[in-house]
Amino acid sequence: MATDRPRIAPWVLAILTIGWALVGVVGAAGVALLLWTDDVWCEHETGDSNFGDGSWSWWPLGLECTWTEESNGLSDHEDPSWVPTLLTVAYVAAGAALAWGHGVRPTRPAPS
């Protein structure tokens, strides 16, 4: 028995897809800016203009900051927040929902 799914107007899907793409472009530009100016975002929590070394972390996604005794007079490390990872998961899920709305479904390999 085939299940019918609700129909979504094509213009609604088009607007949602364009919005989804724009969010992706803005997100990519934000990550590029973060990577280009990484050390600016790594001021130590003491707030004394003591900037550490910023580097990209793949899990969780985001900027990881490290302060060393030699460079900063203190030894500390700050992991990235989980917010960028959660936003990325939500973005991918929204893209999958849009693909489903457009009728794109993964294909199964033919039995051999």
Per-residue pLDDT of 62-80, as tens digits, reads 889 999 888 888 889 999 9
98-109: buried (b, 16+ CB within 10 Å) or exposed (e) per residue? Answer: beebeeeeeeee
- For residue 41, the SS3 value is helix
Q: What is the pLDDT of residues 15-45, one digit of tens each?
A: 888 999 999 999 999 888 888 887 788 888 8
**Distance (Å, whole) CA 51 – CA 73:** 11
pLDDT at 2: 52
According to the model, what pLDDT value does residue 109 have?
Answer: 67
- Tokens representing residue 4 in the block: 């019918």
Matching residue, tokens 């992706």: 24
Which strands sit side by side in the sheet containing 53-58, from one edge to the other? 53-58, 61-67, 76-78
Instruction: Give the rounded percent of residues in the chain with a pLDDT score beyond 90.
Output: 27
